[in-house]
Structure 1
Amino acid sequence: MSTYRLKSVFAPQSIAIIGGSPRERSAGRAVVRNLKASGFPGQIAWVNTRYDQIDGMATVHELTDLAYVPDLVIVTAPAPMVPKVVATAAQRGVAAAIILTAGLGQGPGSLAEATEQAARAHGLRLLGPHCLGVIAPHARLNASIAAHTPLPGDLALISESSAIAAALVEWGVQHEVGFSAVVSLGDAIDVDFSDLLDHFALDRHTRAILLYVESIRDARKFMSAARAAARGKPVVVVKSGRAPNSGGATHTQTLARSDAVYDAAFRRAGLLRVGALDELFAAAQTLGRLGTFPGRRLAILSNGGGVGALARDQLGALGGTLATLSSATVDRLDRALPDWSRSNPVDIVVDADGERYAAAIEALLADAENDAVLVVNVPTAFTSSADAARALVRSAGQRLRYSRAKPVFAVWLGGGEAALSALNAAHIPNYATEADAVAGFMHLVRYREAQTALMETPPSLPEDFVVDSTAARAIVEAALAEGRQWLDPIAASNVLRAYGIPTARIWAAADADAAVRLAQPLLDEGLPVAVKVLSPDIIHKSDVDGVRLNLVSAEAVHAATTALIERARRLRPDARIDGVVVQPTVLRPKSRELIAGIADDPVFGPVIVFGRGGSAVEVIDDVALALPPLDLRLAHELIGRTRVSRILKAYRDVPAADERAVALVLVKLAQLAADIPEIRELDINPLLADAGGVAAVDARIAVAHSRQLHKGRGHPRLSILPYPKEWERQLTLTDGSAVFVRPVRPEDEALFRAFFARVSDEDLRLRFFQSMKHFSHEFLARLTQLDYARSIALVALNGQGEMLGAVRLLADANYERGEYAILVRSDLKGAGLGWQLMQIMIEYARRQGLRLVEGQVLRENRTMLAMCRELGFSFKPDPDDPSIVNVTLPVGDAARASA
């Protein structure tokens, strides 16, 4: 349901509290007190079957006794009563309910299930159960059991834990940090993280969103909402639960620990993850008072050399950059200060008074060689910390003269009420230690860099990037039909070959004589041979010492094979031993051993794993994870997050490895995970990489019948929907020319730029409602980098690959309505392309289950209006702009039934 009826949770006009008692620790009584204390302006009713009045406030016995239908009910009744209470509210037409009551259980037959079913039947939204409630200071709403009401601000907090939400409320009150809303999810039987991310992404009072996460239930819904929210606002998340996995059958499965998968998901969505609650507090402090800024160069000012040095060291440890001082700034500080360090950190010594602080601060704010300024004060007997704080406030108040975007961070060691009050009143973020302040600075740096990465255009895939998914699928389906969980080595090799991943040649031999016959041609070529034990029950050959390399004679092959089979049977008498596999020993002396593969996560589905390979891969633990699908930019970023990426570069007499070839393997594995959901685990170890490319030496693939992991349409297992190849089409225009239509890809930015160059200024104005002379990278990235779970854009290409037109449809968060837009090259009007693109768009909307397609058309755009009329759209003037016509087309079941 997403944002449906959430307005009644955060801005209700009337509220009814159900339950409670005169007891001091009554939840219902606490909520009423908080509602009154927060100055809630709407109607408040109290429903209670046992008391006629509580605290002087009259109650009614039943919700049906009220003369009006409240927008919101807050349920504090005992658990067994909750389903009936919710059913009554839903039948009366109440929009939303907050359930504070605990103990409703989970799963089939529980009180929680009965409550959810009663609400869903009438569209009643539920927050909770077992939650703290909701606080929306801008609406003067405190519908919670929190001890205090925070100040109005622009931070939205969504917490799975009531205790964490309450702690952050108290922290905000103490530090004068305001919130746009505080929400505790509790057991989240309806409203979840995704719904609230969608809500706060569009909330005008919210500038940044804070999340406390314990687990995600609907990964696809979460990823879609998180990616949408993070493109517009900072989203900071702290997650509990870093327990290690119990292990897996493959190296990749063992390495794909649950917390690492969550980390990969947050990274992919553009969220800023922090490690602990104190970091979340620091991020709240920073985001609540500062905007983002370009750059990572920090200038540090202090009246003590030691603390300045500590800040410098912390900056280096977190990956920040110590700013240099321009010569003009050095000259200015020389004139203003009697004594100072003449370098960054700028130490203005222990007797620095407010005037000296002001001079140094103003000089650093004016210096274009830094991006932010950290000001530290150490209390001394010579000066007043309060005077220094007031000097900072005065100087910071003038910073618009220097740089609108340059932030200031403060650390006043030892505090002091007067100093901290001055800083808080000026909304200057201040921290207990220099380490906290540097962390706050780096939070903003990391967020901005994540946003930049989200907008980067990936390199185009090579034209020979062709996969044979049909052949690979046939191999997998044959194994499943035979009841096998693992592909044999030859089948695994053939799957990799079908996806263009270079692999060593491989053959199966039942005994030593067969191994010699297969090895002889290789030996005749002068190639050394490898033999490896072949058993469906022995996943890691090293467990039985089941590999022999560099065999250079038939006698050596025969002896090695005999020994391997005998040893495997002795060590694993329970295992089926089918013989050995024979392959050439891969001799690439300057190659690097890597690991690449696919792991299966119970929440997010397939995960791509990359890192340092070899038999000790778990001990080395140099690995990074990413969610598929991948493009080349994401693949290179994945490689760059490992330590082994450093030795892919050239060093000493070793030439650089072909990193692009490694990245292509990762993209192909992601494509394989998308094409064949039945592949559950895939392990290439080692994957050798050198200047000549890559080679997969050994591979294991586990398969299982696919099951639906995520709700909704599309791929059954990926948490991010892949490129929707099924929407590719071949069209014929009225002049007989052929046109290829396909979904937009992230690498299409250059295609769009060239297309817009061939569209007239007038047509661009009609499409974008304003004159368009320049198309920035950020603008084009938003057109080409899509979340296929919510939107689609289709481009039409001619035989030369030139873009002829495009249509797009963006679904709302409730997945009921979709807004369309279309543009065709100006020299192609009348060729029928626009009509056919609109038909495909309408077909897509119907397939996705939307109820309505809508759009806005300039009244003067007669061509578009005529086409809409022919397609059956209805017209209505825009109430806010007489130059615009709103057009709508029903596409749901009712529309098809009446057609």
Structure 2
Amino acid sequence: MSIRNLEHLFHPHSLAIIGASERPGSVGATVLRNVLASPFRGPVYPVNPKYTSLAGRAAYASVAALPQAPELAVICTPAATVPGIIRELGERGTRAAVVLSAGLRAAAPGGAGTLQQAMLDAAKPFLLRILGPNCVGLLVPGIGLNASFAHTDALPGQLAFVSQSGALVTAVLDWAKSRGIGFSKFISLGDSADVDFGDALDYLARDPHTRAILLYMEDVRHARKFMSAARAAARSKPTLVIKSGRVPEGARAAASHTGALAGADEVYAAAIRRAGMLRVLSTQAMFAAVETLARSHPLSGERLAILTNGGGPGVMATDALVCAHGALATLAPDTLGALDRLLPAGWSRGNPVDIIGDASAERYRQALEILLQDQGIDAVLVIHAPVAVVASTDIARTIVELAAKHERKLLTCWLGGDTLAVARHMCDVACVPTFDTPEAAVDAFLQLVRYRRNQELLMQAPPAGRHDGRPDWAAIRARVREVIGQGRTMLSEPEAKEVLAACGIPVAATRVAANVDDAVRAASAIGYPVVLKILSPELSHKSDVGGVALGLESAEAVRSSADAMLARVAQLRPDARLQGFSVQAMVRQPGAVELIVGVASDPVFGPVILFGQGGTAVEVNPDKALALPPLNMVLARDLVRRTRVSRVLAGYRDHPPADLDAICTVLVQVAELVAAVPEIAELDINPLLAGPAGCIALDARIGIAAVDPSAGAFDRLAILPYPEEWERSLRWRGQDLLVRPIRPEDGAAHLAFFDAMSKEDVHMRVFGGLRQLRPSQLARLTQIDYDREMAFIATRPGGAETMAVARMGADPDMVSAEFALTVRSDLKGQGLGRLLMGILIDYCRQRGIAEIVGEALSENTAMLALARSLGFHLTHEHAEGVVHLRLPLR
């Protein structure tokens, strides 16, 4: 479940407290006191058979004795009683409960599972939603509800806070109240038996009273559900995360370098980034960041200019920015010239711009206006230290006026104490972010930069990836099945390279030799120099036992190296089963860089792609970045950019840049491989040699594991990849037609499709006069979450045009889906709409969706006629001129 019946949890009109008490210090007494002390206007029913009245109100012996079914119940009774109470509430008509009780992981009476499972089983027939168990409770200040045993209430506001930690709930409540920070919802998830992060995010994304969402996260249990909900929420409002457990837990035992390098915290960081959320490291940083994100204009870029009336603070800000790898803006020549004419002779003549300590408000104004006109500047940090010659309030007034006139982001830092309180307040009221120190201001700016990058990854419409033919999936799966059938968990190096080659990844030509003589013959056939490696299923890291020899120039060198390897392995690893040698050409690329590309299997998020600098020392000096599949070229470039080795790949001095497209193509191909072949548990390409001429895999290892045959092909993936199985080749009006799911690469074609629509058709489709798609709108239409959305386009095979599109967006519960159909204006009336709608309806039926709904203007007679012929029920809203369309599928 996701959002069903959550309105009863978060906006109840009546409330029962099961286990209410007057015993001092008890949870039941605390909850009753909190509820009655809050301005909640609905009826409150204490339930406890020991009392006839509590706090001056009638008390009831049981749920059955209540005068009406409470919309929400708060349960404070012992764990063993909870399943029965949930059943009583469901039968009575209650659809939401907060279970504060702990201990439900204990065994149920009779040994049939746990009390928690018994509770869920009791709730299921009634779709009764449960927050908890073992939680602090729920606060909704907007309706005056404090259904918790927290020691204080919450101020009303527009921030939603969702936490797995009960201790943090009470601490943040106290901290926020002392600083005047208010909340729309304050939610303690506890053990998340039913309502979890995914449910909360889905509800809050649609909540008009919430403008930003804050999460304290310890773990995620349902990765696909969480990622879909998080991506949907992050598209509509800032979503920030504190994730505990940042300290590495130690390298796991793994057959691959990747398995040892991909720590759990890095995987969570990759998931948060991919979802378009922002991770922060402390509660204070979270509230500072959300206030900065929600104020003023979003960043248009990452280049910061610093304006200061003191050299020291400007240098402090610059140090903080550069040390954190931020971008200090370079002032344009025109900007420097204008500032030269304005400022005293002693000004800094660069960024930071020191306008000297005696700067008046007018000098601030003119200097700021010059900087805001510079197209090479994306944001300006204004630093002011108080001086006697000018009032700080005059400067604040100037900044506020300019912030209202310009789109570029303005941040302020007021260095000082009480004398600057009014200036700070003026900026606060005008929603201009303000900070006490240069370092805090720069840190906030960098939070904005990280958030912007994450949002770009969430909303981007990337170009088409470079692919040289389709992978040979049949050959790959046959090889994997063969190895599993032999009881092995690792492919040999030649087998792993065979799989990579079948994906289109360049690999060094490799031959298998059963003995020393075969190795010499193979080397002579390949041509010298060659690389010789020992082959053994027990020796994953061959270099650990001296099992790799490079640059062998002759048959004698191959023979002596092979004999030496056999002797070393016999001494160091007598348990190793030797299968011979692999012989490959020695690849030499001047200026090439050794990289690692790998896959690890995370127990929560499934496969994770790793990229970084390769070689034998990757675990000693790791330079790595992680991403969740599937990938495209844009996401692959971002993965590369987040490593230190990316600066080497970009070229330096007389070293030309590596072929970045070739590297990114390998990353995309590896992501496709691990998505398509769920048996692949771990994978290493190390090294992947990358240079100006491209890249080539010199060594590879692949770990495999059998999978449940009843599992779906993509069940282990946190993000559903492109559903290739829904591509359809058809004949339409005597010509070939391809109907397929939309891809992010269709951005340019979709823009041309929209531009080709007539004004009348745009009006019919969007009920308005939209004439241009913004980049974010285009990305939203083409980069969809295939787990909850679908858009089928009609195009010609091999072509780049979009002729028509039928799309649906399902609710998080996959019960109802809203559809839309658009046919290019010059192709209307030729059956394309009916064809696409038929495929869309089949798709919805297969996904188990109960109904398809939509709307059309009453004047759109063609759409209404098509809907009738497809079996839709039409309901006219004459006052609005809109017709509601509904097609039951069950």
Which TM-score bucket, shorter chain as reference? over 0.9
Aligned to 1:647: 648
Aligned to 1:798: 796
Aligned to 2:30: 30
Aligned to 2:534: 533
User: Structure 1 residues 493, 104: closer, same or farther in 2, change over 3 A?
Assistant: same
Letter in 2 for 1:278: Q
Aligned to 2:673: 672
Aligned to 1:6: 6
Letter in 2 for 1:739: L
User: Structure 1 residues 357, 70: closer, same or farther in 2, change over 3 A?
Assistant: farther
**Aligned residues with identical type, % of pairs:** 46
CA contact (8 A) 1:707 1:717 kept: no
User: Structure 1 residues 595, 177: closer, same or farther in 2, change over 3 A?
Assistant: same
Letter in 2 for 1:35: V
CA contact (8 A) 2:727 2:740 kept: yes
User: Structure 1 residues 585, 351: closer, same or farther in 2, change over 3 A?
Assistant: closer
Shift of 1:788: 0.4
Shift of 1:74: 1.0
What's the secondary structure of 1:594's corresponding residue? strand
Q: Once the two structures are superposed, what CA deviation does each residue of 1:222-254 show, in whole Å capped at 9, x if it has no partner?
A: 111111111121111111112234332101111
What's the secondary structure of 1:35's corresponding residue? helix
Q: Once the two structures are superposed, what CA deviation does each residue of 1:158-204 show, in whole Å capped at 9, x if it has no partner?
A: 11112222222222222222222211111100111111111111111
CA contact (8 A) 1:613 1:687 kept: yes
Letter in 1 for 2:249: P
Aligned to 1:99: 99
Aligned to 2:462: 458
Aligned to 1:201: 205
User: Structure 1 residues 460, 137: closer, same or farther in 2, change over 3 A?
Assistant: same
Letter in 2 for 1:321: L
What's the secondary structure of 1:593's corresponding residue? strand
Shift of 1:640: 1.1
User: Structure 1 residues 539, 179: closer, same or farther in 2, change over 3 A?
Assistant: same
> Superposition pairs for residues 194-343 of structure 1, below 5 Å?
194-242=198-246, 243-247=248-252, 248-287=254-293, 289-290=295-296, 292-298=298-304, 300=306, 305-318=311-324, 319-321=326-328, 326=335, 330=339
CA contact (8 A) 1:755 1:803 kept: yes
Aligned to 2:592: 591
Letter in 2 for 1:176: G
User: Structure 1 residues 372, 58: closer, same or farther in 2, change over 3 A?
Assistant: farther
What's the secondary structure of 2:520's corresponding residue? helix
- More deviation, 186-195/409-418: 409-418
- More deviation, 301-310/695-704: 301-310
> Superposition pairs for residues 711-750 of structure 1, below 5 Å?
715-733=714-732, 735-750=733-748
User: Structure 1 residues 297, 475: closer, same or farther in 2, change over 3 A?
Assistant: closer
Aligned to 1:889: 887
Aligned to 1:565: 566
Alignment partners' CA distance in 1, 2:506 and 2:351: 52
- More deviation, 835-844/134-143: 134-143
What's the secondary structure of 1:561's corresponding residue? helix
Alignment partners' CA distance in 1, 2:279 and 2:487: 42
Alignment partners' CA distance in 2, 1:422 and 1:760: 48
Aligned to 2:15: 15
Alignment partners' CA distance in 1, 2:78 and 2:399: 54
Aligned to 1:177: 181
> Superposition pairs for residues 66-145 of structure 1, below 5 Å?
66-105=66-105, 109-145=113-149
Note if 1:146 corresponds to 2:150: yes
Aligned to 1:439: 443
Letter in 1 for 2:573: R
CA contact (8 A) 2:791 2:808 kept: yes
Letter in 2 for 1:716: D
Alignment partners' CA distance in 2, 1:65 and 1:396: 63
CA contact (8 A) 2:596 2:614 kept: yes
What's the secondary structure of 2:154's corresponding residue? coil
Match of 2:496 among 467, 492, 495: 492
User: Structure 1 residues 424, 401: closer, same or farther in 2, change over 3 A?
Assistant: closer
Shift of 1:843: 0.6
What's the secondary structure of 1:156's corresponding residue? strand
What's the secondary structure of 2:537's corresponding residue? coil
User: Structure 1 residues 282, 566: closer, same or farther in 2, change over 3 A?
Assistant: same
Letter in 2 for 1:724: P
User: Structure 1 residues 372, 730: closer, same or farther in 2, change over 3 A?
Assistant: closer
Aligned to 1:480: 484
What's the secondary structure of 1:580's corresponding residue? strand
Shift of 1:516: 1.8
Shift of 1:304: 5.2
CA contact (8 A) 1:106 1:113 kept: no
> Superposition pairs for residues 858-897 of structure 1, below 5 Å?
858-878=857-877, 882-892=880-890
Letter in 1 for 2:251: S
What's the secondary structure of 1:98's corresponding residue? strand
CA contact (8 A) 1:47 1:63 kept: yes
CA contact (8 A) 1:39 1:141 kept: yes
Alignment partners' CA distance in 2, 1:110 and 1:479: 40
Alignment partners' CA distance in 2, 1:428 and 1:655: 44
CA contact (8 A) 2:410 2:433 kept: no
Shift of 1:301: 5.6
- RMSD of aligned residue pairs (Cα, Å): 2.8
Q: Once the two structures are superposed, what CA deviation does each residue of 1:275-334 show, in whole Å capped at 9, x if it has no partner?
A: 233322322443455553434454556665433432232233331435859569848975
Letter in 2 for 1:776: R
Aligned to 1:692: 693
Paired residues, number: 876
User: Structure 1 residues 378, 53: closer, same or farther in 2, change over 3 A?
Assistant: farther
Q: Once the two structures are superposed, what CA deviation does each residue of 1:424-469 show, in whole Å capped at 9, x if it has no partner?
A: 6666655454322322232223323332343332221236342111
Letter in 2 for 1:64: A
Alignment partners' CA distance in 2, 1:383 and 1:153: 40
> Superposition pairs for residues 747-758 of structure 1, below 5 Å?
747-758=745-756
Note if 1:574 corresponds to 2:575: yes
Letter in 1 for 2:164: E
User: Structure 1 residues 418, 693: closer, same or farther in 2, change over 3 A?
Assistant: closer
Shift of 1:150: 2.9
CA contact (8 A) 1:168 1:281 kept: no
**What's the TM-score, normalizing by structure 2?**
0.92
Aligned to 1:554: 555
- Give structure 2 stretches of 5+ with no counterpart: none
Match of 1:771 among 769, 772, 776: 769
Letter in 1 for 2:860: N
**What's the TM-score, normalizing by structure 1?**
0.91
Shift of 1:63: 1.8
Match of 1:403 among 394, 406, 416: 406
Aligned to 2:45: 45
Alignment partners' CA distance in 2, 1:872 and 1:751: 32
- More deviation, 550-559/65-74: 550-559
Alignment partners' CA distance in 2, 1:652 and 1:766: 58
Shift of 1:823: 1.5
Alignment partners' CA distance in 1, 2:305 and 2:562: 66
Shift of 1:366: 7.9
Q: Once the two structures are superposed, what CA deviation does each residue of 1:861-886 show, in whole Å capped at 9, x if it has no partner?
A: 1111111111111011248x531111
What's the secondary structure of 2:601's corresponding residue? strand
CA contact (8 A) 1:150 1:173 kept: yes
Alignment partners' CA distance in 2, 1:358 and 1:188: 57
